[in-house]
Amino acid sequence: MAYPFRLHGRNVIVTGASGGLGRAMTLRLIRHYGCRVLGIARSREKLEAVARELGEYGHQFEYMIMDVSVRESWKALAEYVRSGGFDADVIINNAGILPEFAKFGMYSPEETERCMALNLNSVIWAAEEFIPVFERKTGTAIINISSSDALCPLAGTSLYSASKAAVKALSEAMREEYRGRIYIPAVCPGFIRTDIMRGQRYDVSPAVRFVSMPPEKAARIILGRADRRRSRIVLGFDAHFMSAAYRIAPVWSVRFFRLVFRVSGLVLFKDIF
């Protein structure tokens, strides 16, 4: 018997809902799938802008100011759900950060801790708090946004690659552990035109922007495939190319992309070499 999950009409928690992919998914969930969304982010101003953008659909959106990198915040959110504040069926772990391109030894302990807290620990904490809630219901899901870096690690993104690879592995293991009870896909997108690059000291290359996917298109693909219960969702030419290259030649593919960064001459990658 197929697991009875569909996105239509669900109550969805979206982290990082104030901008980029999170905002695009929030808008599509509400307008196209008729969902109610609880948007999570740190900026009240940006969340209020999303509410205004929804216009006549605004009654289907509420928000909570929360830092997903803080463990206690997840306990408070879960208690809000358990107490009836928002009858969640789905959580989309979208919030994350891409540290600046650099060699591993150049990251400070604070940068390392923040990257792991935002990208990985928040996903672990979400699972710890919401699996007990979702197991008591039908048609629930924990949708984790990983990255193409989880399919092929890139020199200069050691922290990011490690955190997103862990999210992918965690999702795929939990998918089998909770098969038939909770839908848990791993989403591995390539470059998306969002502000995740805000951590870079240098301007992003026009070439990178050229291969990047608009967040609205990414949201449409991700949610469409999730609605069809795909176990792994890979999107973007760059993500598919990285995945295929790494499967064929796991050592040489990583060296190839390092060479591409090096010969590009882009200042964005100058601290890798």
pLDDT for res 202:
43
Asked whether the beta carbons of 182 and 141 are under 8 A apart, the reply is yes
Lookup result for tokens 């862990």? 166
- Give the integer Cα–Cα distance in Å for 244 and 233: 14
Query: H or E stretch including 265?
Result: none
pLDDT for res 271:
72
* Interior/surface letters 35-71, b for 16+ CB within 10 angstroms, e for the rest: bbbbbbbeeeebbeebbeebeeeeebbebbebebbee
- Give the integer Cα–Cα distance in Å for 49 and 56: 14
Task: Determine the 3-state secondary structure of 38 from DSSP.
Answer: strand
pLDDT digits (tens, 9 = 90+) for 33-72: 999 999 999 999 999 999 999 999 999 999 999 999 999 9
pLDDT digits (tens, 9 = 90+) for 26-38: 999 999 999 999 9
DSSP conformational letter for 77: H
Structure-block tokens of residue 98: 């891409």
- Give the integer Cα–Cα distance in Å for 33 and 14: 14
**3-state per-residue secondary structure call for 151-178:** CCCCCCCHHHHHHHHHHHHHHHHHHHHC
Alpha-carbon 205 to chain mean position: 22
Cα angle, residue 78 at apex, residues 74 and 79 outer, rounded to 5°: 115
pLDDT for res 1:
42
Tens of pLDDT along the chain (273 residues) come to 456 789 999 999 999 999 999 999 999 999 999 999 999 999 999 999 999 999 999 999 999 999 999 999 999 999 999 999 999 999 999 999 998 888 898 999 999 999 999 999 999 999 999 999 999 999 999 999 999 999 999 999 999 999 999 999 999 999 999 999 999 999 999 988 766 545 444 444 555 555 679 999 999 999 999 999 999 999 999 999 999 999 999 999 999 988 888 887 776 677 777
pLDDT for res 209:
57
- Give the integer Cα–Cα distance in Å for 154 and 169: 17
pLDDT for res 32:
97
Task: Determine the 3-state secondary structure of 93 from DSSP.
Answer: strand
Query: H or E stretch including 37?
Result: strand 36-41
Task: Determine the 3-state secondary structure of 228 from DSSP.
Answer: coil
pLDDT for res 195:
62
Asked whether the beta carbons of 39 and 55 are under 8 A apart, the reply is no
- Give the integer Cα–Cα distance in Å for 96 and 160: 9
- Give the integer Cα–Cα distance in Å for 68 and 119: 9
Closest CA to 119 of 151, 72, 166: 166
The pTM is what? 0.91
Q: What is the largest CA-CA distance in the chain?
A: 56
Start-to-end CA distance of the chain, whole Å, equals 53
Residues known to be catalytic: 160
